[in-house]
């Protein structure tokens, strides 16, 4: 494997996390002058997103990619990390993060735009096995590796993913998990006290 096949933790890791925040999902009417494209979606009633979304519709402003490029990229992110019932808004934040990189770095912009262009025009509408085959063919490219890494860095750090996967996250503000299920597993026997310890409260 070459050095492009990076699992994840690295210098840009912390930066990617900052781009997972919900305030990137703007109410639809707010456009920026520099907008080059837009990704939009509706919040599905009863979905985890409905609990945390700012409104019934969301939009992501793009400042480097076109709407069509962003739509293709979003399908790419779904192919890399397919979670069928995870809301589009989570994948939109991946695209948003790529767009930010493409906005701030001319070389990255060129690399991303060329990478998207090289995927066949039918990519976004083709069936999953064809999409997987298309990505397999470019797996060793800088474009694919950048998209893969970005997907993993951003997608699973979104509030939508926390809710979807049942991850409860930060616990200090709620008194930890000591009274909230850290030892609530009942399908195995309890550990004898001499090999563990009593709960302090």
Binding residues (CB under 8 A) for another protein: these are 1, 3, 5-11, 13-18, 20, 79-83, 132, 135, 148, 151-153, 156-157, 161-162, 165-172, 175-178, 180-185, 187-191, 194-200
Nearer to another protein, 106 or 168 (CB): 168
- Kindly tell me which of 31 and 182 has the beta carbon lying closer to another protein: 182
Cβ proximity to another protein: between 47 and 66 the closer is 47
Strand partners, 57: 42
Q: How far is the CB of 195 from another protein (least distance, A)?
A: 4
Q: Least separation, in Å, of the C-beta of 35 and another protein?
A: 27
Give the residue with the Cβ less far from another protein, 46 or 169: 169
């Amino acid at each position: 494997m070459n050095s492009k096949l990076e699992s994840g933790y690295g210098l840009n890791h912390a930066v990617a996390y900052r781009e997972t925040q919900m305030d990137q999902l703007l109410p639809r009417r707010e456009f920026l002058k520099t907008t080059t494209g837009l990704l939009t979606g509706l919040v599905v009633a009863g979905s985890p997103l409905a609990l945390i979304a700012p409104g019934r519709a969301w939009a992501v402003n793009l400042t480097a990619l076109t709407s069509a490029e962003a739509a293709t990229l979003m399908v790419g992110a779904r192919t890399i990390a397919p979670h069928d019932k995870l809301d589009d808004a989570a994948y939109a934040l991946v695209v948003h993060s790529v767009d930010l990189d493409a906005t701030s770095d001319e070389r990255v912009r060129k690399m991303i735009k060329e990478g998207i262009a090289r995927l066949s025009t039918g990519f976004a509408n083709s069936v999953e096995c064809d999409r997987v085959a298309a990505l397999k063919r470019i797996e060793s490219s800088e474009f694919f590796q950048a998209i893969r890494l970005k997907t993993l860095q951003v997608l699973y750090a979104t509030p939508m993913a926390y809710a979807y996967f049942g991850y409860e996250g930060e616990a200090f503000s709620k008194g930890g998990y000591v009274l909230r299920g850290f030892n609530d597993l009942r399908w195995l026997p309890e550990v004898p006290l001499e090999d563990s310890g009593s709960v302090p409260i």
